[in-house]
Amino acid sequence: MNQANLAYAPVDSFACGMPLALSVYADRPQLRALMRDDAEAAGFRIAEAAGLASLIEGEPRPLGEVVLLDCPEIGGAQLAALARIDLRAAHSGAQLIVSTSVEALDDVFGCLESSNPQILVDPGRAERVIALGRALANVRGLRLRELGEEDRLTLLRLTEQVGQIAERLERMSNTRPPQGEQESDSAFRFESPKRGFADQQDDGSARLVRATRPPLPDPRLVRRIIRQRQLRARFFDGDLFADPAWDMLLDLTAARAEHARVSVTSLCIASGVPPTTALRWIGQMTETGLFQRVEDEADRRRAFVALSDRAADAMARYFAELGNTAARLV
């Protein structure tokens, strides 16, 4: 049994009925065939498997309920194909999974503004299979937005752990693990922002929201804290301190105080975790209202990520509460 079959062995036991239709779009024939094989092993029915040009040529065929698309490079044709599939997926409700490269990430992110896709950066086979599982859960009605925030965060952490396990299994099946590879799960710490706000309301301090917001901290201070946090990776395994949500909040806080714009690629780097993992967290933070997508007025194909006013307010109050002790934070 291959890894894809193993990952999806429980699917048939759910008695879901007719197989879900899936469309595959990739210009690299070998990758397209591999994506198709994994989707079929996962229990999907292939509605179409073609290159990206098919999205902008001729009469469009109906999309599958899940769309798997590979776009490692960006040119005029690819931009047109992405823009069209984004609108079609948003209109039909299809679950869109797009794999790309670090070099093309900003352009791909800028094109996909309507369909709430999963974006994978230079994914391995295991990551793509995990993404198919997430799409399958959404289509079957187990939608994250129907869960409470604590449940969503727990599911996100669990998904990352499952992904790490799958990646390790894939590496073990092909080659020996890199020297120094840690076999323990990464430690993530992320307290629910909604719960924090609810606690404020419960103790009657929600009135603070209507008070004058303290100024944002000095960006030089925030950058120093970020450098201190990054310094730990010189002496310990970086996964031990992985906290992408907080690292991205710090980076966006400094950028807002500097009146600077942050690209999605830059924010992924600031997170300290692999780009695909960072993109999942960006999606979660956007859904909870802490991050927001900001379109580039000069170039509609580009978009940036920024703190929402609610998050900026919370960060300003956090640093105001810390006062002079903030400079000693790590």
Q: What is the CATH number of the domain that holds 19?
A: 3.40.50.2300
Q: What is the DSSP letter of 54?
A: G
Question: 111 and 239: one domain?
Answer: no
| Contact between residue 195 and residue 149 where contact means Cβ atoms under 8 Å apart | yes
* Single residue among 108, 125, 147 that ends a domain in this structure: 147
pLDDT cut 90: percent of the chain above it = 50
Minimum mean pLDDT range among 7-11, 145-149, 217-221: 7-11
Question: How would residue 323 be classed by pLDDT, with cut points 50, 70 and 90?
Answer: confident
Reduce the DSSP state of residue 46 to 3 states and report it.
strand
Strand partners, 295: 303
User: Does residue 168 belong to any structural domain of this protein?
Assistant: no
Residues 134 and 248 in one domain: no
Q: List C-alpha distances in Å: 317 to 123, 194, 216, 289, 321.
A: 38, 16, 8, 17, 6
Q: In total, how many domains does the chain have?
A: 2
Neighbours of 262 (CB within 10 A): 21
Q: Tokens 């999974």, residue?
A: 97
What span, in angstroms and rounded, lies between the C-alpha atoms of 37 and 16? 20
Which residues span the domain enclosing 310? 199-328
Mean per-residue pLDDT, 9-31: 71
Distance CA 303, CA 317 (A): 28
Neighbouring residues of 220: CB distance < 8 A, sequence distance ≥ 6: none
Tell whether 206 and 133 lie within a shared domain: no
Name the pLDDT band for 305 (thresholds 50, 70, 90). very high
**For the residues 148-154, what does the mean pLDDT come to?**
53
* Residues across the chain: 330
Of the pLDDT bands very low, low, confident and very high (cuts 50, 70, 90), residue 166 is: low
Q: Is the pLDDT of residue 143 over 80?
A: no
Q: Are the C-beta atoms of residues 261 and 294 closer than 8 Å to each other?
A: yes
For residue 111, give the amino acid letter.
C
